[in-house]
Chain A
Amino acid sequence: MVSGQANNAYVELNFRPNVQLVSVVRRFVSEFYQRTLSDPDGTSRVALATHELLENAVKYSKDGETTIRIEVVSETDPREISILLRNRAEATHISAIREIVDGVANAPDAFGYYQQLIARKARSKDGSGLGLARICAEGEMKVELRVLDGDVVELEATTHVGGSK
């Protein structure tokens, strides 16, 4: 987990996301990233990750309540960005998340794993199943899963992006 500094830029939202709100939040945090970072590609990567994590939260949340905290760690360039989502999920959903997170972590490279997953999911009609792997492969982010108190899920995506403004 990223350890925060007192002067770090961050935004934290506690809300009940629905499908319509996901794109609204992505646009809002994109503005935050654009105003904080001078790396358009990095901004795009973390905006993509934010969107996929939020859609994941909509899909898996037990009670709808979700907290998202986005922090720009300010010590050095390139900046470390942390996107942390916290919500409650059913055990079956936690297993599904864990399978993807472990799959990426244990693969020789995230992009190769993503390509295999794309091939596997091509004929599947049950959701995309690609979001978390996409964060790792296209977003070049590391994703960690933590389960607290049985059903509280923390998904944290971190990466480094070029310079700050």
Chain B
Amino acid sequence: MSELLSVKGDDFTGVAVQEGTKIVTSLKGNADYAAIDSVEKLLDKTHDEALRTTASEVVIDLRQLEFMNSSCFKCFVSWITEVQELPEAQQYKVRFQSNAQLHWQKRSLHSLRCFAVELITVDEE
């Protein structure tokens, strides 16, 4: 496992790591207005590394993410759009790990999955 990028704010942390053929990107805390730049950087790095290493899958771990505002949610929309616009052979799958106790996640991930059902799966714990 090798760390690709970590970001840290007052109320938000994120880390992207390479785990074999996967990239696992974890977000923790509160993804609000103050976290937008960090979320963007994290997703940009995740995308670049997924392409560079021809990753089999990207896992986004939200299990410890208390909240995500619409601006950070839109960072995910923009990232998924970039993946959708790649030639099919370069597209990679995205699997979200969510926390059933954090009810907003179910609703927001449903919205995101409807936007890109061919790319996204959601696991709930």
List of B residues within 8 angstroms of A38 by Cβ? none
Q: In the complex, A139→B70 CA distance in Å?
A: 12
A115 to chain B, nearest CB (A): 6
Q: Would you call B103 and A134 a contact (CB within 8 A)?
A: no
| B residues in contact with A22, CB < 8 Å | 32-33
Residue of B at shortest CB range from A130?
A: B70
Whether the pair B78, A44 counts as a contact (CB closer than 8 A) is no
Q: In whole Å, how far is A4's beta carbon from the nearest beta carbon of chain B?
A: 27
Max chain A CB contacts within 10 Å: which of B11, B70, B78, B104?
B70
Interface string of A95-123 (1 = CB under 8 A from B): 00000000000000001001100110111
A40 within 8 A of B: yes
Tell yes or no: A52 within 8 A of B by CB: yes
B74, A130: Cβ atoms closer than 8 Å: yes
Interface residue total, chain B, C-beta cutoff 8 A: 23
A115 touches B74 (CB 8 A): no
Interface residues of B in 42-93 (CB under 8 A from A): 67, 69-71, 73-74, 77-78, 81
Q: Which residues 3-25 of A have a CB within 8 angstroms of B? A: 19-20, 22-23
Size of the chain A interface, CB-CB below 8 angstroms: 33
CB pair B104 A19 closer than 8 Å: no
B111 within 8 A of A: yes
Contact (Cβ within 8 A) B115 A44:
no
Closest-CB distance, B103 to chain A (whole angstroms): 4
The answer to whether B30 has its CB under 8 Å from any CB of chain A is yes
- Residues of chain A in range 103-162 having any CB-CB distance to chain B below 8 Å: 111, 114-115, 118-119, 121-123, 127-131, 134, 137-139
